[in-house]
Structure 1
Amino acid sequence: MNVTIVDYNSGNISSVINSFKEVANDKVNIEVTSDLNKIKLSDKLVLPGQGSFKSCVDALNSINGLVEILNEFVINNKKPLLGICVGLQMFADIGYEETETKGLGWISGKVSKINNQNNKYKLPHIGWNEINILKDSKIFKNIENNSHMYFVHSYEFIPNDKSVAAATTDYSSNIVCAVEKENIFGTQFHPEKSDKTGLKIIDNFINL
């Protein structure tokens, strides 16, 4: 089985690569590439994302044909994809970081700045926070509710359909921090930086 981490120059993804390789432990082939054909032929994709919504969308669009291949993979062929951090945010229709930017539109919704309640909450939201698991998501198999995950973000994904939310975290409000919609999975937190629990989420995705 081939699990491909999409490399589209969206910041440092070495910890994502290392974590997936550690979990895969040679049983699964982990590839890191921007090669469209390899992405297309993969069994599963991982879409990381660091930086701003706009910079990540621009980076995706800068690789000719990549968005079309991703759409085909996810929407037409219904193969599993895991978005991490801004990788999840880009599922939205639109994001408001820096400037209004069109997202991939896979899960209807928007990405807005976290309401810090007049500086009561620091932004970015950095560090460990517990998650409230809302549904029996495949990526949360054998993960205890209220587990702690590692976050770094100032913007949140607000889906139109609340049923796609797999988990929330409490920071200023109930922020959606994981989604599952058919073959589309995403985490706002960084599983690759969330110790053994995070590695278990990666393992669950690899073993889907």
Structure 2
Amino acid sequence: MGLREMKKRQTRQNISDQATRLFLRHGFDRVTIADVAAAAQVAKMTVTNYFPRKEDLALDLHEEFTGLLARTVAERAPGESALAALRRAFLDAAARHDPVIGFSGPDFARMITESPALVARLRELHEERENALAAVLAAETAAHPDDPLPRLAAAQLAAVHRVLFQEALRRTLDNEPDEEIAAALAKSARMAFDMLSPALSGYAVRPASQ
């Protein structure tokens, strides 16, 4: 990484950190872009250059979030189906308490759920994630543009992740320890993926020759 790129990443991280601190202290809806810029000691334009939407200052893992399912399927092992890859990846993420699947701490979870703007943005991110997954499934299965199967499969697989994310938030707000949340999510995930298995266990299996 070059010095310029490193400095850009440091600036972005500083803005994100200062914004999160302010949001947690005062609430998302009460903090302005100007407040964040002042705390980060940068211009307002610098903040909006890195984060065009205020909501993405709070949900700063949005790019990783929206691309996670598609990337997991694209990188699945030979002989592995899309369902199996997503199941494996989710259980791994739960075991390591990954923030991308909802491990955020009570204060952060409360900040999200108490802000209509963040709840709406999170809904959009779930939809973007589903669309990205559908696109990868269509490409991986060489589906015809009119074939609804990739979109139907993506809708079901993304719905599992959406419900599990909501469960993680709910349990976090109830102040359950991360270990208990992880165990509960793993149990729910196994049940959900087992429900989809009869229909999707043989779908989008990567050929062994790849």
TM-score range, shorter chain: under 0.3
> Which structure's CA Rg is the greater one?
2
Q: In proportion to residue count, which structure has more strand? A: 1
